[in-house]
Amino acid sequence: MKFFVDTAEIDAIAELNDLGMVDGVTTNPSLIMKSGRDILEVTKEICDLVDGPVSAEVVATKAEDMIAEGRKLAGIADNIAVKVPLTWDGLKACKVLSSEGNMVNVTLCFSANQALLAAKVGATFISPFIGRLDDIDIDGMDLIADIRLIYDNYGYDTQILAASIRTVNHVTESARIGADVITAPPGVIRKLAEHPLTDNGLAVFMADWAKTGQKIL
Ligand code: G3P
């Protein structure tokens, strides 16, 4: 499973990238706002840092304007995936941008039917938002499973990019279902390494080691 990092914070991306954990990066207008950076500058820096796809989102709402913004964003680097919202205009923009050879990430997906449409217009990635469905008491994992089933039924090669991941369980479940990619904040990725029994076991080892009076170095 590929790991994308859901942030525009360069330091956090760089740390995970050094560990070989970054297969790509996703950003959105909210994450650009949080970074306090200029979208074109920070996106270029991210693209220079990582080899994989870097999603940069359009902010226009009409198809022709999305297409113009998407072309500009795609011009930043070869590894840009233009992100468009799952609206009718967004689907039109996806069709044009993907036909021109750009990677396109269709975002804000909340239903299997929306995902089906994104595949039909040539999306490279579909981004179902798990956490935001959980927020309204709908199990976001059911959507990932439905999309997996439907895409496999018909052989669509649009990649399922599980997004709005808030917990480590979202990652486990996405992997069990077979999502192609997860995008998660750096904090969630770091938490994947944690387990209370690891902490307890290490504390016991350290206490016993101290009793030996030995040193390795
Ligand atoms: O990848 C989408 C993500 O940035 C949205 O996450 O937690 O704001 O729902 P969240």
pLDDT of residue 104: 98
The predicted pLDDT at position 40 comes to: 98
For a ligand 1 pocket test, name from 35, 125, 129 the mutation site with the most ligand atoms within 8 angstroms of its C-beta. 129
- Find the 25 Cα to ligand 1 centroid distance in Å: 13
For the chain, give the mean pLDDT. Answer: 98
Regions in the chain scoring below 50 on pLDDT: none
The pLDDT of residue 209: 98
Substitution site in 164, 188, 189 for ligand 1 pocket (most atoms within 8 Å of beta carbon): 164
pLDDT of residue 55: 98
What is d(CA 149, CA 187) in angstroms, rounded to the nearest whole number? Answer: 30
Ligand 1, atom 9, lies closest to the CA of 164
Q: Is 164 in the pocket of ligand 1 (CB under 6 A)?
A: yes
In this predicted structure, what is the pLDDT of residue 10?
A: 98
Task: Output the pLDDT for position 30.
Answer: 97
pLDDT computed for residue 182 by the predictor:
98
Note the CATH architecture for domain 2-192. Alpha-Beta Barrel (3.20)
Which residue has the CA at smallest separation from atom 7 of ligand 1?
Answer: 164
pTM reported for the whole predicted model = 0.96
* C-beta 27 within 6 A of ligand 1: no
